[in-house]
Amino acid sequence: MPEMLRTDPNIIITGTPGVGKTTHCQQLATATRLHHLDINEVVKKHNIGESSTDPDDPNTKIVDEDRLLDCIENDLEEGGQIIDWHACDLFPPSLIDLVCVVRCDNKLLYDRLKKRGYSGKKLEENMDCEIMEVLLQEAREAYDEDMVVELRSEKTEDVDANVERIEKWIEQWRKDHGKEGGEDVKAQGGGGKDEDNPMFLHG
Ligand SMILES: Nc1ncnc2c1ncn2[C@@H]1O[C@H](COP(=O)(O)OP(=O)(O)OP(=O)(O)O)[C@@H](O)[C@H]1O
Ligand SMILES: [Mg+2]
């Protein structure tokens, strides 16, 4: 197996539109030295989204996933990326360390999407996506179950608590991978036990 070069983990923050992905990514990037990799920005910058032909939803972009991966492959190999995107199964599991599926109460999400001006089919489809747990299923199918965690994002305090939890997980990841303080912890007989994993203590 090729040696993992990244000195910081790659974390996916995914979920239905409006659940709070970007809110989490921004706060997490501020709290850590990780980089907020906003896929919406990548799509715009590299012009790899085609406008939807759906007359109800002309602003939605259909993204060429192969080209997207080409654009971010180097970043992922380097590590330390917080990936902000409403899909997750396109990222190669070997380059991903943690998948957070952000969740939100249906009524609250409905209000958030309405406030954005979503209506009709678009509102309905996004609500169905959350109700049917589409992103959670997608994450569980694409990645090992011990990499996938659900995070609630309903109140401001939820974001604070989730970010703190991910920060602890990052610290543990660095210890487990011998990336802390430049010392090789694993070579000294360190390394993580599952019960030390702060993301899954209550999961
Ligand atoms: N935990 C929370 N408490 C209060 N407000 C929240 C919370 N999470 C998100 N919000 C609010 O909900 C709205 C949507 O959040 P955000 O933009 O982070 O969602 P998103 O998942 O990135 O959406 P998109 O997929 O469209 O990019 C914002 O107005 C944000 O302030
Ligand atoms: Mg967003």
> CA nearest 42: which of 78, 75, 20, 7?
75
Q: Is residue 176 part of a domain?
A: no
Q: Which residue has the tokens 């809110």?
A: 23
Confidence of residue 142 (pLDDT cuts 50, 70, 90): very high
Q: What is the 3-state secondary structure (H, E, C) of the chain?
A: CCCCCCCCCCEEEECCCCCCHHHHHHHHHHHCCCEEEEHHHHHHHHCCEEECCCCCCCCCEEECHHHHHHHHHHHHHHCCEEEECCCCCCCCHHHCCEEEEEECCHHHHHHHHHHCCCCHHHHHHHHHHHHCCHHHHHHHHHCCHHHEEEEECCCHHHHHHHHHHHHHHHHHHHHHCCCHHHCCCHHHCCCCCHHHCCCCCCC
- Residue 60 φ then ψ, to 5°: -70, 135
For the domain that residue 31 is a member of, what is the CATH number? Answer: 3.40.50.300
Q: Which residue has the tokens 């939803």?
A: 57
| Domains contained in the chain, number | 1
Confidence of residue 199 (pLDDT cuts 50, 70, 90): confident
Nearest CA to ligand 1 atom 25: 17
Residue type for position 4: M
Q: Is residue 112 part of a domain?
A: yes
Model confidence pLDDT, tens digit, residues 31-51: 998 999 999 999 999 999 988
Q: Is residue 192 part of a domain?
A: no
What pTM does this model have? 0.90
Binding site feature residues for ATP: 18, 20-23, 116, 155
Q: Is 17 in the pocket of ligand 1 (CB under 6 A)?
A: yes
Nearest CA to ligand 1 atom 26: 17
Which residue did the predictor score with more confidence, 51 or 70? 70
Tell me the best of 12, 13, 16, 22 to mutate to test the pocket of ligand 1, counting ligand atoms within 8 Å of each CB and taking the most: 22
Percent with pLDDT over 70 in the chain? 87
* pLDDT (0 to 100) of residue 3: 65
> Average of pLDDT values for 70-84?
97
Range of the structural domain that residue 84 is part of: 6-165
Q: Is residue 45 part of a domain?
A: yes
Q: Is residue 191 part of a domain?
A: no
Q: Is residue 138 part of a domain?
A: yes
Q: Is residue 29 part of a domain?
A: yes
Model confidence pLDDT, tens digit, residues 161-189: 999 999 999 999 999 998 775 544 444 44
* pLDDT (0 to 100) of residue 52: 79
> Measured between alpha carbons, how far is 49 from 30 in angstroms, rounded to an integer?
28
Q: Is residue 129 part of a domain?
A: yes
Relative to the CA of 153, which ligand 1 atom is closest? 1
